[in-house]
Amino acid sequence: MVKDLCDVTCINEEIVEKIKPQVQKQPVASIAQVFKALADETRLKIAYSLTLSDELCVCDVANIVGASNATTSHHLRQLRKNGLAKYRKQGKLAYYSLDDAHVKEMVTLAFIHYKEVTLRDGIQS
């Protein structure tokens, strides 16, 4: 028997009519792309690394996450394409940083949440 479902169907029309239009007008598919970009372990490592430093060159990021420069560049382009990172060129080096404080906060909050859940639930990492 599944216990995480309602045993009966009971819809609160007032709440549904209030919330449903707000949910439907949001660009959910576009926002889901942001989370998909962060769902890749390497990209999340890169994003987390960029929360710890204002900016890093591709070579440094590659060394931190243990990937080749080419692989790292690919992941950084994906983060940039999804509005999570930005870059600047200085001579022959490309430096990346998180796009803004919201991205840094989102990544930082994900790590804080994970730590809280593991402590609360006694999960071994």
Q: Helix, strand, coil shares of the chain as percentages rounded to 5?
A: 60, 10, 25
Q: What is the pTM of this model?
A: 0.86
CA–CA distances in Å: residue 114 to residues 31, 102, 107, 109? 21, 18, 11, 8
Domain ranges of the chain: 32-121
Task: Please report the beta strands in 2-125, taking only residues with DSSP state E, as ranges in sequence order.
Answer: 56-57, 85-90, 93-98
Structure confidence by residue, pLDDT tens digits, 3-17: 888 889 999 999 999
In this structure, which CATH number among 1.10.390.10, 3.40.50.300, 1.10.150.120, 1.10.10.10 belongs to the domain 32-121?
A: 1.10.10.10
For 105, phi and psi rounded to 5 degrees? -65, -40
The two three-digit tokens of residue 66, written as one number: 């243990």
Per-residue pLDDT tens digits for 19-73: 999 999 999 999 999 999 999 999 999 999 999 999 999 999 999 999 999 999 9
